Amino acid sequence: MKTIYKLTATLVAMGEILCFCGAVPIGAAQSSTNNLPFPLIERFENFGAKDGLPTHKVHCVLRASDGKLWVGTYGGALFRDNGKFHLISTNDGLSHRMVMCMVEDKRTGDMWLGTMRGLNRYSAGRITTYTQTDSGLPNNVVYGLDIMDDTLWVATAAGLGALNLKTGSWSIYDQNNTVMHEPWVYSVTGAKDRVFVGVWGGGILEYEPASGIFKEHRDPDRDFHFDLAPDDGPVSDITSWVAWEDGVLWQATYFGMSRYDGSRWRTWQETKSPLPSNFVNFIWPHGRVAWVGTDCGLSTTDGNIWVNYRTDEHGDGIMEIARPGQPMETRKMTTALPNNFVLGIWVDDREAWLATSDGLAHAFLSPTQSATKVAVDQ
């Protein structure tokens, strides 16, 4: 098996050499024949301490609308400008070094950073902090953020906070004033006229600000570990992340993942699908394709076809393609994820950035098919 891998790697390397010579590259040839509804990752470029990251653990990543890459790590936030990382730390006024989530207010360019101790607004170099003692922030542990119109939604360890960006007023939604059973809110995502809230142990809350109505989505079988009746609702109530795009809500849990299109649910667990692990940290939807961060690597899926990326025990990059009714296709990559524990993802048509437990990865996508085009076509 090792010999086959080495042979494949040699062929890929030769293809890349040929590419520079103007010949048809092997990677491109593979991509063009994949016939997949979303692009493949061709290679990874990894960043760590040598590149200026303050710690190996990276929690979140996103590319802002001005093109700057923002990275949240255990040792502060960074932005990448002209190829160099610039650190924003507690010395600069950040409320805590551990940056767990980020969201950009695209209208103003302000970056909101959630940490283990408070919320921060980075605006043109100035940091304003919000903590549970100096503001209406429900709790200092900020797991998730999203902005919808004039409201910043903040998922905290003690409820959901809503900051009106025009008036500065805070509202708190928790077990005291909603149907929320647990106060640990891990994630929040705006969805046009409503907000979906991922509650640890409480499933998903759907909130319509206009009517003030909360609706609860709970795992019907109430079993944490097993999805006794697939596709009947959220796969589990232990929600670790929610994300919404293009009319579809995705739920990450530590016992599988789910998709909800407004009327139907679909669920996946590792034993019944190509999902590499039930331990799902994060989902980034791009069009109708989900980019899934797990403890066993990265997955991309439209719900039917799966492509999983992981680093094997030798440090080699492995790509697995699972098509319905076909055996799993395994390919060896020339580069690998820095770590299989994927905590954060940002994707557009051209590239992906991955936050892992051991560094940051830049994933270059095959140019043959864009995710958006696929979504439109479908």
Partner 1 sequence: MKPRLITLFLVVAALGAVAMWLRQDYWVDHMSRMSGQKDLSHVTCFNCHMVSTAKLRWAQPRPHHDAPAGLAVSPDGKIIYIALDDRDQIAAADAVSQKVLRRVKVAGRPFGLALDAAGQKLFVTCRDADRLAILDTQTLKETASIGVGMAPVAVAYCRTSAGERLIVANSMADNISVLSVSPLREIGRPSAGREPFDVTVNPDGTRAFVVNRMAWLASVKTVPAAEVTEIDPVTARTIGRDPLASAHLSESIGIVPSRSWVLNPLVKVRNLVPITQVANGWVMSSGFAVTDTRTCKVIQLPLDEANNYYADPSGMAVAPDGKRAFIASGGSDVVSVVDLDKVSAWLAAASVSTKEEAINDMSLSPEYVIARIPTQRNPRQLLISPDGGTLYVAERLQDSILLVDTKTLTTKGRIMLGDGGLNDPIRRGERVFTTAAYTFQHQFSCRSCHPDGHVDGLSYDFDTSGIGDNLLDNRSLLGVAGTEPFKWNGKNPSLEVQCGPRFAKVLMRTDPIPPKELRDLTTFIKSQPPQRVARRHDGKLTPAQERGKAIFFATKTSAGVEIPHGKRCSSCHRPPLYTVRLSFDVGTGGPFDTPHLLGVANTAPYLHDGRALSLEEIWTLYSTNDTHGVTSYMNKEQLNDLVEFLKTL
Residue among 6, 84, 86, 107 that touches partner 1 (CB under 8 A): 107
> Exposure of 313 by Cβ count < 10 A (0-12 exposed, 13-18 middle, 19+ buried)?
exposed
Stretch that binds partner 1, among 94-102, 169-177, 307-315, 359-367 (CB under 8 A): 169-177
For residue 12, the surrounding DSSP H or E stretch is: helix 2-20
Q: Which is nearer to partner 1, 89 or 171 (CB)?
A: 171
Residue among 89, 90, 135, 334 that touches partner 1 (CB under 8 A): 135
170 binds partner 1 (CB under 8 A): yes
Task: Provide the mask over 65-84, with x wherever binding to partner 1 is found by CB under 8 A and - wherever it is not.
Answer: -x------------------
Residue whose C-alpha is closest to residue 224's, from 182, 284, 189: 182
Nearest approach, Cβ of 175 to partner 1 (angstroms)? 11
Nearest approach, Cβ of 186 to partner 1 (angstroms)? 18
Residue whose C-alpha is closest to residue 139's, from 115, 122, 121, 123: 115
Nearest approach, Cβ of 203 to partner 1 (angstroms)? 22
Residue among 1, 67, 91, 166 that touches partner 1 (CB under 8 A): 166
Q: Which is nearer to partner 1, 119 or 290 (CB)?
A: 119
Q: Which is nearer to partner 1, 134 or 246 (CB)?
A: 134
208 binds partner 1 (CB under 8 A): no
Residue among 31, 115, 132, 178 that touches partner 1 (CB under 8 A): 132
Residue among 171, 330, 334, 368 that touches partner 1 (CB under 8 A): 171
- For residue 8, give the amino acid letter: T
* Contact (CB, 8 A) for 130 and 107: no
Long-range pairs for 24-27: beta carbons < 8 A, 24 or more residues apart: 27/366
The residue behind tokens 């440090």 is 315
Total residues in contact with partner 1, by rule CB under 8 A: 30
Residue among 167, 211, 263, 326 that touches partner 1 (CB under 8 A): 167
How many other C-beta atoms lie within 10 A of the C-beta of residue 74? 17
For residue 59, the surrounding DSSP H or E stretch is: strand 58-63
* Contact (CB, 8 A) for 226 and 235: no
Stretch that binds partner 1, among 174-182, 200-208, 217-225, 359-367 (CB under 8 A): 174-182
- For residue 377, give the amino acid letter: D
Stretch that binds partner 1, among 165-173, 187-195, 218-226, 272-280 (CB under 8 A): 165-173
Residue among 109, 190, 220, 303 that touches partner 1 (CB under 8 A): 109
Distance CA 115, CA 370 (A): 33
Distance CA 343, CA 85 (A): 20
Q: Which is nearer to partner 1, 153 or 309 (CB)?
A: 153
Stretch that binds partner 1, among 1-9, 45-53, 164-172, 307-315 (CB under 8 A): 164-172
For residue 99, the surrounding DSSP H or E stretch is: strand 99-105
Strand partners, 238: 200
Stretch that binds partner 1, among 55-63, 105-113, 236-244, 266-274 (CB under 8 A): 105-113
124 binds partner 1 (CB under 8 A): yes
Q: Which is nearer to partner 1, 125 or 324 (CB)?
A: 125
Distance CA 162, CA 146 (A): 10
138 binds partner 1 (CB under 8 A): yes
Count Cβ neighbours within 10 Å for each residue of 256-286 and write b for 16 or more, e otherwise: bbbbbeeeebbbbbbeebbbbbbbbbbbbbb
The contact set with partner 1 (CB under 8 A) reads: 66, 107-110, 121, 123-126, 128, 132-136, 138-139, 158-159, 165-167, 169-172, 174, 176-177
